[in-house]
Amino acid sequence: MTKILLLNIPSGPFPSDYPPVAISRVFEGIDPSLNCDISFFNLDYYRPSEEEIKNRIQTYSPQIIGISAILTPAYAYVKELSNFIRKNFPKVVQVLGGQMAVISNIILLKTKIDFCVVGESEPIFSNLIRRLQEDTFKPKNMENYTDIKGLVLLKGNNPYFTGYEKEDFHNGMRQFNYKLISRFTSLENYIHKIDGQYFEVRLINSDMSDFLNLIYQNNRNKNMATVFASKGCVNKCSFCHRFFKGYRVNVVDEVIDYIENMKKDLNVGMVMFAEENFGTHIRATSKLMEYFKTSGLNWGAGAVRVKTVNEQIIKEWQEAGCVHINFGIESLSQKMLDVMEKRSTVEETLNAIRLCYKHGVVTIPGLVIGMPGETEETLEETIHNLASVIPDDIKVTFEIYINYVQAIPGTPIYEYARRIGLIGPTLEDEEKYIESLYDVDANDLRHFLNFTDYEKEELVYWKYYITLELIAAYIKKHGYIKVFKYKKTRVYRIGLIYKLLPRNIRKFLLKNLMIVKYFGIGKLIHVYKKKNLSQNTKKFKDVNRSIRKIIQELPVTLREDEVSTAIFKRGH
């Protein structure tokens, strides 16, 4: 019997509330005829020490360790883990799958990973297991594996991609198997109360009771769980990684059966659709709505395109139990939407937000700031436009979240950074940058490659400025007394003071205070000296079109190690 230990990788400073779906799909996808015994150690949830990892591997004694690595910024952890495993268990074959395989050339040359799986795990992983069994788990001659499509391996001293395999779409669309995974890990992060951690961290400036009033009374003490109605995205945003081609929809009756089983087995009263692009398939979504109208459930969708909705659709969804929708907004400057390739307009975005507020569906606009072409003028456009849709009812949830753009491998913005020299040309330069992304919040400027014509330190105040100006606009709309009475969080208390100052003065003070807070008074003096003494070349200000099109015009020289794998970094 072949023993396989599956590991997932911590994706941030705290355990994720997103279930290990990829692990579940690997479990169910491996060919049963291979006679495999499979186990799972949830590194993201348990955050074990090296000694605990060592003990787990010793106890189980696997021939293969499969590492599920969704996020490329966790590369530094993968490298350390892989080296640790090879040092202590040199005979174990290490296989990596997930979106981190986009940097398979770096992984194979800088870690002890033996194989990377590209795309859906099946049938690639099963084909690899079969060949490893034939080789008695001693893959000395990599030529023996080059006929297995979907792998990246070392051929000679360079990474070699064997070509795309026809993927098992059915396996790639499977729902998360809660019952199966519960044999190996606690489910408390993935099945929790509706008023639990998922909304606690997302509604930090709102009264949770206002949100809970939207939930059917019978559901308020029940659990929330994750569901997938589709996979993939129809868009190609220039900051987003497209590692899987196309957009596919699950069979609606199977989705409904899955939800019904969760209602019965897990006391679920709300489901969250966790895919990237809910609602795009009109017929499938309509069938789901018919089900939800009589299901007694509430539901939400983590990602919907603004073009997908209109008033009739939002009203229908709300009547079918919808309480929460997030849109891919990113900016409310048309210039920046074009740079990002959002394929949407400011008015379409505002209309989607407005309709949610009108019909009692919580939406949390998310912004990505700092793309090439971003200026204080584009930020002002975003603030002005968002302020125009502040809800009339003070009890309607009004939240935003803001991230600085993060250039990750597989995205056009990453290739743009490489081609203009923000990421060095060597393998070591590229690895150093990717390692710097580990355990860094996207709100943190430490990771940020500066695509603007401002000093990097000047950008630190941007997210605070957007937030406080929107609160100032909120106070203007609802009045000081009402806001003081109903909004008791710290940021609104700060906003009440902030609003008292004239706009130019509060902006000036906020900018300088944030530079001093994060970088010190010396850096503030340095910034002003540099701005006054140097001729600042306007390199990014006039960027006003698709980053994807711009990089097609920029020269590129491939290193020998990336000749075979460069295709991954272009994204789909």
Asked if residue 506 lies in contact with residue 473, where contact means CB atoms within 8 angstroms, the answer is no
Phi, psi of 556 (to 5 degrees): -140, 140
For residue 247, the model assigns a pLDDT of 84
Q: Are strands 247-249 and 230-232 parallel, antiparallel or unpaired?
A: antiparallel
Q: Which residue type is seen at 289?
A: M
pLDDT, tens digit only, all 572 positions of the chain: 999 999 999 977 889 989 999 999 999 999 999 999 999 999 999 999 999 999 999 999 999 999 999 878 899 999 999 999 999 999 999 999 999 999 999 999 999 999 999 988 989 999 999 999 999 999 989 999 999 999 999 998 899 999 999 876 666 689 999 999 999 999 998 998 998 888 888 888 888 888 999 999 999 999 999 999 998 887 888 888 766 677 889 999 999 999 999 999 999 999 999 998 999 999 999 999 999 999 999 999 999 999 999 999 999 999 999 999 999 899 999 999 999 999 999 999 999 999 999 999 999 999 999 999 999 999 999 999 999 999 999 999 999 999 999 998 989 999 999 999 999 999 999 999 999 888 777 677 777 899 999 999 999 999 999 999 999 999 999 999 999 999 989 999 999 999 999 999 999 999 999 999 999 999 999 898 887 766 666 788 888 889 999 998 988 889 999 999 988 876 55
Burial (CB < 10 A; 0-12, 13-18, 19+), residue 141, is exposed
Dist. CA 132–CA 249, nearest whole Å? 34
Instruction: Write down how long the chain is.
Output: 572
Partners of 244 in the beta sheet? Answer: none
Q: Could you identify the residue written with the tokens 């940020």?
A: 448
Element containing residue 337 per DSSP (H, E): helix 334-340
For residue 376, the model assigns a pLDDT of 96
| pTM, to two decimals | 0.93
- Helix, strand or coil for residue 152? strand
Could you tell me the two tokens for 182?
A: 């519960």
Residues 6 or more apart from 235 whose CB is under 8 A from it? 277, 305, 328, 341, 342, 343
DSSP string, 153-204: EEETTEEEE--PPPP-HHHHTPPP-HHHHTTTS--TTTSEETTSHHHHTT-T
Asked if residue 216 lies in contact with residue 260, where contact means CB atoms within 8 angstroms, the answer is no
Residue 61 vs residues 31, 51, 54, 89, 318: alpha-carbon distances, Å: 21, 15, 10, 9, 51
Residue 225 vs residues 177, 275, 278, 354, 364: alpha-carbon distances, Å: 11, 13, 16, 27, 19
Could you tell me the two tokens for 314?
A: 């939002």
